[in-house]
Amino acid sequence: ANNRITRISVERLRPFLALETLDLSNNNIVDIKADSFPALPLKNFLNNNRISSLETGCELSRNRVRRVEGLTFHGLHALRSLKMQRNGLSRLMDGAFWGLSNMEVQLDYNNLTEVSKGWLYGLLTLQQLHLSHNSISRIRPEAWEFCQKLSESNLSSNHLSRLEESSFVGLSLLDELHIGNNRISFIADGAFRGLSNLQMDLQKNEISWTIEDMNGPFSALDKLKRFLQGNQIRSVTKKSFSGLDALDLSNNAIMSVQANAFSQMKNLQERLNTSSLLCDCQLKWLPVWVAEQAFQPCVNASCAHPQMLKGRSMFTVSQEEFVCDFPKPQITVQPETQSALKGTNVTFICSAASSSDSPMTFAWKKDNEVLNDAEIHNQAHLRVQAGAGGDTEVTEYTTTLQLRNVEFSSEGKYQCVISNHFGSSYSNKARLTVNVLPSFTKMPMDLSIRAGATARLECAAVGHPSPQIAWQKDGGTDFPAARERRMHVMPEDDVFFIVDLKMEDIGVYSCAAQNTAGTISANATLTVLDSPLVVTERHFFAAANQLLIIVDTAEADAGKYTCEMSNALGTERGNVRLSVIPNPNCDSGVQGGVGVGMVGGAGSDDDGWTTVGIVIIAVVCCVVGTSLVWVVIIYHTRRRNEDCSVTNT
């Protein structure tokens, strides 16, 4: 490192038989030729040079480069292809190929374990990436973020077992994908979304269930042809290959084919060779259809069951010989969609019957994935089935999936798969939703507010699913304030306002929070206080407004009186109800309230002076009474202040 080496000399390197790290950083090497390195056990190859041209192709294959550091090829803009096959490469650091653009990368026969966006960083115009014969077991989400120009990728002979929804996201230009000879058994719905030009081979994988039960997983890919040979597909359903017009299913031990499964493959020929067919009445249609379409040359299919037909080509079996037998399990009880409260226990039940005594196996899937650690109970019982040849006894099997203490993560689609030697049956997918009853986070409160002012009513609740909030007034939906456009509801907010309050806004406001689990409600009473009292010839205030005096009480004075005391720390209110009782002898009478002195004149007294006299006496009594109250209050306040050692106020 840090010399002026301009050239890598094979002769000079050759003696270093055990060289593991070759650090050529900061030299003046300008080109690396195909034969620059002898075979060395290099683990680390570090360079930071002025390499401006590698030969149009940089051929580093059959070396022992184990690890490529970031920015190794920095500056090699002209490079068109990079070949590093058969190096035993196990790690590519982030940015390993940064700076290389417009090229092809060949990394076949190495020991890479994953495709990630880290080492693909910077390969913005990469078109071909060869990764066959590595140990790749996963494609990280967003792996292809930086190489969306990729048109051809070879991932065959790796260890992939799953194709996720994210596995090929962003590769809209990908038109050739080799992914055969992996261990793929799971293909997520939507794994090939957006790849409409794709030609793909999936041969020699472990695909079975995913195809047997999926809803047209390849329907968007109309260029697919011979891509499924050598998998483990046993049943073909109508949905399996919808959208495809050609197919090669050779080397799959196919047992059953649902009627019209290939109906869309009109123009092209599908290949089928199987000696495992279950030749019962459900298969009657197939030889007829194959003959009609003149597809016999591509189909080599013979029966394995029933025993009587074993080994015979399906074309030699007459229509009468296809008898109804149903040794493959048939679902008799489907699991049901349900919703449950969080924390409760849930069971799904699924039953199947079969005419054969071949042992059954049971599995449950959630969102298309097998539940390996689930609590499952299986049970067999005999059932009498009416048939053409009299009643027969069939064995019915019931499998129960028990979910305890369900969480939101338990939500999903559950399905049972019941299999025996003759194939698998897939139940409907039953959806589980997990709910939580609503509970209030904000409850409306009783309010007493002056007319003309603004009332603020709030209500909010949480739950799962999120509850809907609805308001009622006095049990109905008639809001005078809404009619008069005095009500303002903030969208997305848990508060509403009534401005310019009027008497008709008085009432009980109920807030209801509802979701599928249930409803809760809360009430708040809104009281609107009539306009503040002003002094008239019948209404007086005394003792610094602590006293309200009404004289010559009339029936119109009846009602609720509220006195309000405020200071900087808040407001307190006290209420009193005044009823005015008509005096049988006189025009009017009065029954004073308590707390605030309310004095009414006797209506029968013509002499105003008597009234005035009584008022004066009452006022004096009240002033004296109030003063006494104050003395007591002040005495107590002082006592308390001394106790608390706080400065007197």
**Rounded CA separation 150/123 (Å):** 9
Contact (CB, 8 A) for 104 and 85: no
Report the C-alpha gap between 480 and 483 in whole angstroms: 5
Show the DSSP H helices in 250-377 as ranges: 285-292
Q: Which is nearer to ligand NAG, 156 or 250 (CB)?
A: 250
Chain residues 63-122 in contact with ligand NAG, contact rule CB under 6 A: 88, 90, 111
Q: Are strands 518-529 and 67-68 parallel, antiparallel or unpaired?
A: unpaired
For residue 156, give the nearest of 170, 142, 140, 136 by alpha carbon: 136
- Angle among Cα 378, 382, 388 to the nearest 5 degrees reads 130
Out of 157, 274, 419, 611, the residue judged to bind ligand NAG by CB under 6 A: 274
Contact status, residue 194 vs residue 216, Cβ threshold 8 Å: no
How far is Cα 424 from Cα 256, in angstroms, rounded to an integer? 10
| Residues 192, 265: Cα–Cα separation, whole Å | 21
Nearer to ligand NAG, 7 or 404 (CB): 404
The correct pick among 222, 393, 474, 605 for binding ligand NAG (CB under 6 A) is 474
Nearer to ligand NAG, 344 or 439 (CB): 344
Should residue 433 be labelled a site residue for ligand NAG when binding is judged by CB under 6 A? Answer: no
Q: Which helix (H) or strand (E) holds 483?
A: helix 480-483
Q: Which residue's entry shows tokens 């299919």?
A: 301
Q: Which is nearer to ligand NAG, 344 or 466 (CB)?
A: 344
Instruction: Report yes or no: 150 and 175 within 8 Å, Cβ to Cβ.
Output: no
Please identify, using beta-carbon distances, which residue of 88 and 592 lies nearer to ligand NAG. Answer: 88
Residue 302 CB, shortest distance to ligand NAG, in Å, is 8
Give the nearer residue to ligand NAG in terms of CB position, either 341 or 619.
341
In whole angstroms, the minimum distance from the beta carbon of 476 to ligand NAG comes to 9
Smallest separation, CB 101 to ligand NAG (Å):
29
How far, CA to CA in Å, does 609 sit from each of 311, 549, 605? 129, 17, 9
Taking CB under 6 A as the rule, which mask of x and - marks residues 240-269 in contact with ligand NAG? ----------xx-x----------------
Q: Which of 8, 40 has the CB closer to ligand NAG?
A: 40
Which one of residues 26, 273, 293, 395 is an interface residue with ligand NAG (CB under 6 A)? 273
Is residue 345 part of the contact set for ligand NAG (CB under 6 A)?
yes
Nearer to ligand NAG, 101 or 111 (CB): 111
* C-beta of 469 vs 563, nearer to ligand NAG: 469
In the bound complex, what is the minimum distance in angstroms from residue 375's beta carbon to ligand NAG?
9
Q: How far is the CB of 378 from ligand NAG (least distance, A)?
A: 18
Nearest by Cα to 152 from 176, 179, 130: 176
| Distance in Å, CB of 316 to ligand NAG, minimum | 16
- Enumerate residues 7-46 that contact ligand NAG by CB under 6 A: none
Does 404 engage in binding with ligand NAG (CB under 6 A)?
yes
- Residue 27 or 274 having the CB closest to ligand NAG: 274
Q: How far is the CB of 14 from ligand NAG (least distance, A)?
A: 23
Beta strands at 299-305 and 270-278: parallel, antiparallel or unpaired: parallel
Q: Omega into 465 within 30° of 0, i.e. cis?
A: yes
Query: Quick one: which segment of 272-280, 320-328, 364-372, 592-600 binds ligand NAG (CB under 6 A)?
Result: 272-280
439 sits near ligand NAG (criterion: CB under 6 A): no
The CA angle 8-10-11, to the nearest 5 degrees, is: 120
CA distance 479 to 395: 64
For ligand NAG, the closer of residues 115 and 147 by Cβ is: 115
- The single-letter DSSP state of residue 476 is B
CB-nearer residue toward ligand NAG: 87 or 237: 87
Return the number of the residue (182 or 250) whose C-beta is nearest ligand NAG: 250
Question: Which one, 174 or 233, has the nearer CB to ligand NAG?
Answer: 233
Site string for ligand NAG, 350-389 (x = CB under 6 A): ----------------------------------------
- Is residue 521 close enough to count as binding ligand NAG by CB under 6 A? yes
In the block, tokens 């060395």 appear at: 40
Q: Can you tell me which of 6, 523, 610, 641 binds ligand NAG, judged by CB under 6 A?
A: 523
Provide φ and ψ at 480, rounded to 5°: -55, -35
Site for ligand NAG in 149-188 (CB under 6 A): none
Q: Tell me the C-alpha distance between 410 and 412, whole Å.
A: 6
CB of 89 to ligand NAG, least distance (A): 8
Residue 569 Cβ vs ligand NAG, minimum distance, rounded to whole Å: 31
Give yes or no for residue 275 binding ligand NAG (CB under 6 A).
yes
* Phi, psi dihedrals of residue 634, rounded to the nearest 5°: -60, -40
* 518 touches ligand NAG by CB under 6 A: no
Report the nearest approach of ligand NAG to the CB of residue 168 (Å). Answer: 25
Which stretch of DSSP H or E encloses residue 633?
A: helix 608-643
CA distance 292 to 244: 19
Give one DSSP letter per residue of 322-347, joined into a string: ------S-EEEE----EEEETT--EE
Dihedral sign, CA of 642, 646, 647, 649? negative
Name, in order, each residue with C-beta under 8 angstroms of 501's C-beta and a sequence gap of 6 or more: 449, 450, 451, 452, 453, 454, 455, 486, 528
Cβ-based nearer residue to ligand NAG, 137 or 219? 137
CA neighbor of 594 nearest in space, from 615, 617, 569, 574: 574
- State the minimum distance, in angstroms, from the CB of residue 533 to ligand NAG: 30
Site track 201-240 with ligand NAG (rule: CB under 6 A), x = hit: ----------------------------------------
Let me know: does 480 contact 444? Beta carbons within 8 Å: no
Count the residues of the shown chain that bind ligand NAG, applying the rule CB under 6 A: 19
Contacting range for ligand NAG; rule: CB under 6 A; set: 270-278, 525-533, 548-556, 608-616:
270-278
Q: Is 508 in the site for ligand NAG (CB under 6 A)?
A: yes
Beta bridge partners of 343: none
Q: Cα-flanking dihedrals φ and ψ of residue 424, to 5°? A: -120, 145
- 3-state per-residue secondary structure call for 37-73: CCCCCCCEEECCCCCCCCCCEEECCCCCCCEECCCCC
Residues forming contacts to ligand NAG in the complex (CB under 6 A) are 88, 90, 111, 135, 250-251, 253, 273-275, 344-345, 404, 474-475, 508, 510, 521, 523
